[in-house]
Amino acid sequence: MAKHVLIIEDEPNIIEAISFILSRDGWQVDTHSNGHDAVAVVRARAPDLVILDVMLPGRSGYDILTDLRANPETQDLPILMLTARGQARDREMAEKAGASRFMTKPFSNADVIEALNALVAP
């Protein structure tokens, strides 16, 4: 059964690109584009994996991640953080907030797929 991935990202073109490559790889792709109700959307849709952007309208990706990790339902959910601010400090913050994986934009499509597969592998 195809794995269910939720992309939380505000840049339409990036959503489209990731959606395309993941669909092609056999994922069931779901998207959401703002921050303030992201936590609720995650819990409602219960994806197998979340791709989370940091700079979101409404709420910061780190805050969303911290909330998700605080909830027993989602505390072990694999979450790949994507950020356009590729500094070491951002990686630290992501790890501290509990990201399963951290990638900087721009990324290689193959790396994304490989990372996602690694995250959902049994």
Partner 1 sequence: MATLNILIAVCLAYVALLFAVAFMAERAALKGRGNWLRSPWIYTLSLSIYCTAWTFYGAVGYAARSGLEFVTIYLGPTLVMVGWWWALRKMVRIGRTQRITSVADLISSRYGKSGLLAVCVTLLALVGITPYISLQLQSVTLSFSSFAVSDPVGASLIADQDTALWVAVGLALFTILFGTRNLDANERHHGVVMAIAVEAVVKLFALIAVGVFVVWGLAGGISPMLERIDASDIGQWQMDGGRWVGLTFLSAAAFLTLPRMFQVLVVENEDERHLRTAAWAFPTYLMLMSLFVVPIAVIGLELLPAGSNPDQFVLTVPLSQGQEGLAMLAFLGGFSSATSMVIVAAIALSTMVSNHIVMPIFLRLTQGGVNGPSDVRHVVILARRLSIGVVLALGYLYYKISGGGSALAAIGLVSFAGLAQLLPAMMGGIFWRGATRNGAFAGLVTGFAIWAWCLLLPGFGGGVLPASVMADGPWGIGWLRPHALFGIEGMDPLLHAGMWSLLLNAVVFVIVSLLSFPSPLERLQGAQFVNIFDHSDNPQSWSGGIAQSEDLMIMAQRILGPEMVQGFFQAEAARQGLAGYLPEPTPDFLARLERELSGAVGGATAHAMVAQIMGAATVSVEDLLAVADETAQMMEYSSQLEAKSNELTRTARQLRAANDKLTQLSVQKDAFLSQISHELRTPMTSIRAFSEILRDAEGLEPKDLTRYATIIHAEAIRLTRLLDDLLDLSVLENGQVNLNIRDGLLSDVISHAIAASGSDMHTMRVRRTGPAAEVMLTTDHDRLAQVFINLIANAQKYCDADRPELTIDVSRRGGRVIGTRRIALLPSKPRGIHPIPCGPTLMGLGCCEE
Q: Please, which residue, 14 or 77, has the CB nearer to partner 1?
A: 14
Report the nearest approach of partner 1 to the CB of residue 33 (Å). Answer: 9
Strands 101-104, 49-53: parallel, antiparallel or unpaired by DSSP?
unpaired
Cα–Cα distance for residue pair 122/109, rounded to 1 Å:
22
Footprint on this chain of partner 1 (rule: CB under 8 A): 10-11, 13-14, 16-18, 20-21, 24, 34, 55, 57-58, 83-87, 90, 104-110
Q: Check if the beta carbon of residue 41 is closer than 8 Å to that of residue 33.
A: no
Report the nearest approach of partner 1 to the CB of residue 76 (Å). Answer: 28
The beta strands (E) that lie in 1-122 are given as 4-8, 28-32, 49-53, 79-83, 101-104
Report the nearest approach of partner 1 to the CB of residue 62 (Å). Answer: 13
Q: Please, which residue, 12 or 75, has the CB nearer to partner 1?
A: 12
